[in-house]
Amino acid sequence: MKSDTVLTKRIVAGKYKGKTLKLPSKDTTRSSKAIVLESFFNTLQFDVIDSVLVEVFSGSGSIGLEALSRGAKRVFFMEKDRDALKALRANIAQTDPNACEVYEGDSFSTITQVKKRLELLGESAFVYIDPPFSFREGMEEIYEKMLLLIASLPLSIVQLITIEHMSTLELPESIGQFRRLKTKRFGKTSLTYYA
């Protein structure tokens, strides 16, 4: 008999530390590795407090909810996969739903709403982008589309852009008005920062 194991991970630090987050099935999304998450939050340090974070391709929302736990005041989640959305909503319910906004649908379309919302709030955000890796079927052009999405962001609404990507991918020195700051490598996964 096959058991349906529920994949989970925990919030590492802050006011929701230890809360268990549900992860959607491995077929549709990948969860950010603990070492990658730790490195990202070490980079942000105290800047995360009272900040706004946008998690593009958010899956279970582990990055955004970790940010919320560490003091972010508002998090925007962008996701189109049904299973992921179900897990995401269950995870948000354990934290502070009033501080979370979920944008359902293709991130390349919903980014327009998120940009308008940030402009309306007069906020600039940390933008975390973890696209599905391009070797997945139907995702071959994901990185080209991601670069266009980044180039479309006005400087006024961005504090820092972080891209989680395959280490084999060479990202350009600049994307639109944003310049590459650094890349950190963790085996097959890397984080590249732009500002």
pLDDT band per the 50, 70, 90 thresholds, residue 109: very high
77 torsion bin: left (phi>0), alpha (psi -120 to 50), beta (else): beta
Per-residue pLDDT tens digits for 65-98? 999 999 999 999 999 999 999 999 999 999 999 9
What is the reported pLDDT for 134? 57
* CATH architecture of the domain covering 7-194: 3-Layer(aba) Sandwich (3.40)
Both tokens of residue 80? 């189109």
Q: Where are the domains of the chain?
A: 7-194
Beta bridge partners of 77: 55, 102
Both tokens of residue 144? 């080209």
Q: Give CA separation, 131 vs 1, 26, 97, 141, 164, in Å.
A: 34, 14, 24, 11, 7
What is the reported pLDDT for 195? 98
Per-residue pLDDT tens digits for 148-187? 999 999 999 999 999 999 999 999 999 999 999 999 999 9
Cα gap 60→23, rounded to integer Å:
5
Cα gap 128→76, rounded to integer Å:
10
What is the reported pLDDT for 3? 43
pTM of the model: 0.93
What is the reported pLDDT for 32? 74
